[in-house]
Amino acid sequence: MKLDDFNPVLFWDTDIRTLSVEDHTGFIITRVCMLGGWKDWQALKELYGVDRIRHELLHARYLDKKTLNYFSLILEEPKESFRCYTLAQSNPAHWGY
């Protein structure tokens, strides 16, 4: 399994040849989880396994709200256990739309 198996649109702003599967795990997992499709998700599970994905998502500094809610349900983890959720609560935005 290599990064070429993912949809190239996921890494549109990055030179994929400079990414390392071992060194850039957090970046790859969060990018695929936020922007990837079903095939990308299947490839991600094959590459890293659910336990590693869980660990990286729980420690991610940012996930959009939709991704956070989805993986909170899928991984059966409360939103409060995600680092990005607690960071967002401690840094409220100016406008609460």
* Span 25-44, pLDDT tens digits: 999 999 999 999 999 999 99
Domain boundaries, the chain: 3-90
* Lowest pLDDT segment from 12-21, 48-57, 69-78, 88-97: 88-97
DSSP track, 32-86: HHHH--HHHHHHHHHHH-HHHHHHHHHT-S---HHHHHHHHHHTT--GGGSHHHH
Q: Model pTM?
A: 0.84
Average pLDDT value for the chain: 88
